[in-house]
């Protein structure tokens, strides 16, 4: 039997059972479409998180005081408490050639008031370099002054939300506010939407780090943001930073360094796994579609017993009958898969229209895998009905015994 004839015969029998064929196409296409859409959502989530990390800053290292347990190493023999991570420590890091910028940070909560309005907000003590490292932009006024970090100057840059709450529609620049009963002059307002990793800077206030240290009476820094000169410099910067701190802390390795890439890599791995999982779960619907195909083909075989007997009487071999029914099942599965890919891509485009901020995107492997699984399913679940058809005794098939 020639291949075009085989395909024509199979499609004529599929067309002959229209309702059944349409239902099967529906089941298979829903399965494939859900794999495509769900993996695209997973991939979108991954891209979203990656994008958030990029916002946090590029080539970024974060230094925390104290040794992280997870980095291993023996516990200190003499039970020392970790040394403070001081401003001098932070600024000493700039000695390393691989380090471009350093932003020492102190963070605390304090009441902020202006006149009768007051609020408890997060106060960030930072330096001028904090702004470029975190890609923060100042909507009006200026960022923190470029001064010796040790100098405590009572100026403040307000988040836009906080500005609104304290000043309403009045102008804030040049005005005075109180933080913990100390007066600070407002010199700048952050642009709106300065959000990264869930931290909304809209409701915060940024002051010089020395001023914050004296506000909170905290000699140790909360952390130090370190920006390496380039992507290749990250590892070098990490080693250099560790060496410099060890030297300054009498040989103690008492800080923790986190590279953003390591964090990002972890998230990336988690979200990829999530995408595979979601894809796999959607894949179950493909298996269900496969079982449906088997069921429907079994019904088709029993409805077409006389036809099978006839084909055999006309000289079709068992192998030919087997092939006919297999081709039918695979055609059904392939058409359903193709339809499913179209529906899935349509769904993705629709979601992209509805949620433009979410970077939804189908990973290429998903539709390919879905189609492969669909066709494979058609083949596997088509075998049993096809074998049953092939083994029919033609005499009994023709007489309906």
Partner 1 sequence: MIELAGIERDFTVGDEVVRALDQVSLTLPDGDYVSVMGPSGSGKSTLLNVLGLLDRPNDGSYRLHGEETTRLPEEARAALRRDHIGFVFQAFHLVPRLSAADNIGLPLVLAGVEPHARDARIHEVLESLDLLDRAHHRPDQLSGGQRQRVAIGRAVVMRPGLLLADEPTGNLDQHAGSEVVALLEQLNASGITLVVVTHDPTIGQRARRRIRMVDGQIANDSGADAHA
Ligand X SMILES: Nc1ncnc2c1ncn2[C@@H]1O[C@H](COP(=O)(O)OP(=O)(O)O)[C@@H](O)[C@H]1O
Binding site for partner 1 (CB under 8 A): 1-2, 5, 9, 12-13, 15-16, 306-307, 309-320, 394-395, 398-399
CB of 14 to partner 1, least distance (A): 10
144 close to 154: Cβ distance less than 8 angstroms: no
C-alpha 53/C-alpha 62 separation (Å) is 13
By a kind-dependent CB cut-off of 5 to 8 A, residue 307 interacts, out of ligand X, partner 1, none, with partner 1
Pairing of strands 223-228, 60-65: antiparallel
**C-alpha to C-alpha distance for 198 and 18, rounded to whole angstroms:** 53
The token pair at 87 is 């401003």
Residue 311 partner contact from partner 1, ligand X, none using kind-dependent CB cut-offs of 5 to 8 Å: partner 1
- Least Å distance, CB 400 to ligand X, is 10
Nearer to partner 1, 36 or 332 (CB): 332
Q: How far is the CB of 327 from partner 1 (least distance, A)?
A: 13
Q: Which is nearer to partner 1, 274 or 310 (CB)?
A: 310
Binding site for ligand X (CB under 6 A): 396, 401
CB of 305 to partner 1, least distance (A): 11
- Residue 317 binding result from ligand X, partner 1, none, given CB thresholds of 5 to 8 Å by partner type: partner 1
Q: Which does 9 bind (CB under 5 to 8 A by kind): ligand X, partner 1, none?
A: partner 1
CB-nearer residue toward partner 1: 45 or 316: 316
User: For every residue of 179-248, which 3-state class applies, written as one string?
Assistant: ECCEEEEEEEEECCCCEECCEEHHHEEEEEHHHHHHHHCCCCCCEEEEEECCCCHHHHHHHHHHHHHHHH
C-beta atoms surrounding 273 within 10 Å = 11
- Residue closer to ligand X, measured from CB, 44 or 309: 309
Partner that binds at residue 312, options partner 1, ligand X, none, CB closer than 5 to 8 Å by kind? partner 1
Residue 315 interacts, among ligand X, partner 1, none and using kind-specific CB cut-offs from 5 to 8 Å, with partner 1
Nearer to partner 1, 2 or 95 (CB): 2
The alpha carbon of residue 32 and the mean position of all alpha carbons in its chain are separated, in whole angstroms, by 22
For ligand X, the closer CB: 130 or 392 = 392
* Closer to ligand X by Cβ: residue 185 or 396: 396
Contact 312, 397 (CB under 8 A): yes
Which partner in partner 1, ligand X, none is near 276 (CB below 5 to 8 A by kind)?
none
Give the shortest CB-397-to-ligand X separation in angstroms.
10
3-state SS of 16-60 is: HCHHHHHHHHHHHHHHHHHHHHHHHHHHHHHHHHHHHHHHHCCCE
Task: Quote the least distance from Cβ 298 to ligand X, whole Å.
Answer: 22
> Which does residue 15 bind out of ligand X, partner 1, none, counting CB within 5 to 8 angstroms by kind?
partner 1
Transcribe 329-395 into DSSP letters: HHHHHHHHHHHHHHHHHHHHHHHHHH-TTS-----THHHHHHHHHHHHHHHHHHHHHHHHHHH--HH
Q: Supply the minimum distance, in Å, between the C-beta of residue 306 and partner 1.
A: 6
Residue number with CB closer to partner 1 (215 or 316): 316
Question: How far apart are CB 401 and ligand X at their closest, in Å?
Answer: 5
The Cα 347–Cα 350 span in angstroms is 5
Strand pairing partners for 99?
A: 228
Nearer to ligand X, 135 or 396 (CB): 396
Tokens 């049953």, residue? 388
Find the shortest distance in angstroms from Cβ 393 to ligand X: 7
**What residue 310 binds from ligand X, partner 1, none (CB within 5 to 8 A, per partner kind)?**
partner 1
Reported as type and span, the H/E element at residue 178 is strand 176-179
C-alpha torsion sign, points 31, 33, 34, 39: positive
């Amino acid at each position: 039997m020639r291949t075009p004839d085989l395909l024509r015969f199979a499609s004529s029998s599929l067309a002959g059972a229209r309702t059944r064929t349409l239902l099967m196409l529906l089941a298979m296409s829903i399965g494939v479409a859900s794999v495509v859409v769900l993996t695209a959502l997973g991939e979108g989530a991954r891209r979203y998180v990656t994008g958030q990390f990029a916002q946090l800053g590029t080539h970024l290292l974060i230094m925390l005081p104290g040794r992280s347990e997870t980095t291993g190493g023996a516990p200190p023999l003499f039970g020392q408490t970790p040394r403070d991570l001081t401003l001098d420590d932070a600024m000493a890091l700039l000695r390393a050639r691989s380090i471009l910028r350093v932003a020492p940070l102190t963070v605390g909560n304090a009441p902020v008031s202006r006149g009768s309005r007051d609020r408890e907000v997060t106060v960030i003590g930072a330096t001028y370099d904090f702004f470029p490292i975190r890609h923060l932009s100042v909507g009006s006024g200026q960022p923190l002054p470029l001064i010796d970090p040790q100098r405590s100057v009572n100026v403040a840059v307000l988040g836009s939300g906080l500005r609104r709450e304290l000043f309403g529609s009045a102008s804030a620049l040049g005005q005075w506010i109180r933080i913990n009963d100390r007066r600070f002059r407002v010199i700048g307002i952050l642009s709106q939407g300065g959000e990264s990793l869930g931290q909304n800077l809209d409701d915060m206030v940024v002051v010089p780090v020395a001023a914050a240290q004296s506000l909170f009476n905290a000699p140790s820094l909360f952390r130090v943001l370190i920006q390496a000169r380039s992507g290749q410099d990250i590892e070098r910067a990490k080693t250099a930073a560790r060496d410099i701190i060890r030297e300054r802390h009498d040989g103690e390795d008492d800080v923790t360094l986190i590279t953003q890439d390591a964090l990002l890599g972890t998230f990336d791995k988690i979200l990829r796994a999530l995408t595979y999982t979601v894809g796999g779960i959607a894949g179950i619907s493909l298996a269900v579609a496969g079982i449906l195909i088997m069921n429907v083909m079994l019904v088709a075989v029993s409805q077409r017993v006389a036809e099978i007997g006839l084909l055999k009487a006309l000289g079709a071999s068992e192998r030919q009958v087997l092939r006919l029914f297999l081709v039918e099942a695979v055609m059904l599965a392939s058409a359903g898969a193709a339809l499913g890919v179209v529906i899935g891509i349509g769904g993705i485009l629709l979601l992209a229209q509805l949620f433009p901020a979410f970077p939804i995107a189908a990973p290429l492997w998903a539709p390919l895998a879905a189609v492969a699984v669909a066709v494979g399913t058609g083949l596997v679940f088509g075998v049993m009905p096809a074998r049953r058809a092939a083994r029919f005794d033609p005499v009994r098939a023709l007489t309906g015994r």
